[in-house]
């Protein structure tokens, strides 16, 4: 059996009981090093751990697929929730296995951010740039979200489309410079927050950042 499990944004308080149950029962635990550290205390002493990197993930996933087909219980751990920013990795897992696998959702950083900033998901669109490949269609989608007067919760792409790059892109494409923006780092852990206007966003932030761009005209539920 192979299961893909979301283990929350970092603080153990936000790991679901079901995720802990699956991780604790695993014969093999797979994930990027940062994510595996979150669940390390729940692993059995004899659980085999396989650390993914961007360079080795195809090879490692092929190896754990063989273990899965041999009958071992394999758990692949994802940061946050699988369906918010981990779908490309899920596709690679399923490609290696040759079939669809079970997915267990987790609490995402976008949910935590919505709670911190008191925005309603009915009035907010989520978009992630944390993906490989062409992100131009997603950039255009972000413009349409803001033009439709919706809040936008955004996960940047490390290195080449971080918060200040997103701000520059939006300003170059005619988005109003007075949108209120918040950038949060290390949610649920050593949190820090920058807030200001879109036109003033030119700072550098870590890879563990997420941002909110508020709609220009407040909606009725924003009290």
Phi first, then psi, for residue 140 (nearest 5°) are -65, -35
Q: What is the pTM of this model?
A: 0.87
Average pLDDT for 176-205: 94
3-class DSSP state for residue 221? Answer: coil
Average pLDDT for 157-162: 93
Contact assessment for residue 51 and residue 32, using Cβ atoms and an 8 Å cutoff: yes
130-157 pLDDT, tens digit each: 988 899 999 999 999 999 999 999 999 9
Mean pLDDT over each residue of the chain, to the nearest integer: 93
The per-residue pLDDT for 220 is 62
Phi first, then psi, for residue 5 (nearest 5°) are -130, 130
Average pLDDT for 197-218: 95
Residue 178 to residues 55, 164, 171, 175, Cα–Cα distance (Å): 41, 15, 10, 9
Which residues does residue 187 pair with via DSSP β-bridges, in sequence order?
none
Give the domains, in start order, of the chain with CATH numbers.
Answer: 2-104 (3.40.1010.10), 109-213 (3.30.950.10)
Pairing label, strands 151-155, 209-213: antiparallel
Q: Does 172 have pLDDT greater than 90?
A: yes
Q: Does 129 have pLDDT greater than 70?
A: yes
Instruction: Give me Rg for the CA atoms of the chain.
Output: 19
Q: Does 37 have pLDDT greater than 60?
A: yes
Which residues does residue 29 pair with via DSSP β-bridges, in sequence order?
49, 75
Q: How confident is the model at residue 218 (pLDDT cuts 50, 70, 90)?
A: confident
Q: How confident is the model at residue 87 (pLDDT cuts 50, 70, 90)?
A: confident
């Amino acid at each position: 059996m192979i299961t893909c499990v979301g283990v929350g944004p970092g603080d153990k308080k936000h790991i679901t009981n079901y995720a802990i149950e699956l991780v604790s029962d695993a014969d093999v635990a797979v994930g990027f090093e940062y994510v595996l550290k979150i669940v390390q205390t729940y692993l059995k002493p004899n659980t085999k751990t396989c650390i993914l990197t961007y360079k080795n993930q195809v090879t490692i996933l092929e190896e754990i697929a063989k273990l899965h087909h041999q009958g071992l219980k394999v758990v692949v751990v994802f940061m946050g929730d699988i369906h918010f920013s981990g779908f490309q990795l899920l596709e690679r897992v399923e490609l290696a296995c040759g079939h669809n696998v079970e997915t267990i959702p987790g609490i995402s950083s976008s949910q935590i951010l919505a709670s911190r900033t008191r925005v309603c998901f009915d009035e907010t669109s989520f978009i992630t740039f944390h993906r490989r490949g062409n992100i131009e269609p997603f950039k255009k989608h972000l413009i349409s979200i803001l033009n439709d007067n919706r809040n936008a919760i955004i996960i940047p792409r490390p290195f080449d489309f971080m918060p200040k790059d997103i701000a520059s892109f939006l300003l170059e494409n005619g988005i109003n410079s007075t949108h209120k923006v918040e950038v949060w780092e290390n949610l649920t852990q050593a949190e820090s927050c920058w807030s200001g206007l879109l036109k003033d966003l030119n700072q550098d932030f870590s890879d563990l950042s997420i941002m909110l761009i508020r709609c220009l005209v407040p909606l009725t539920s924003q009290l």
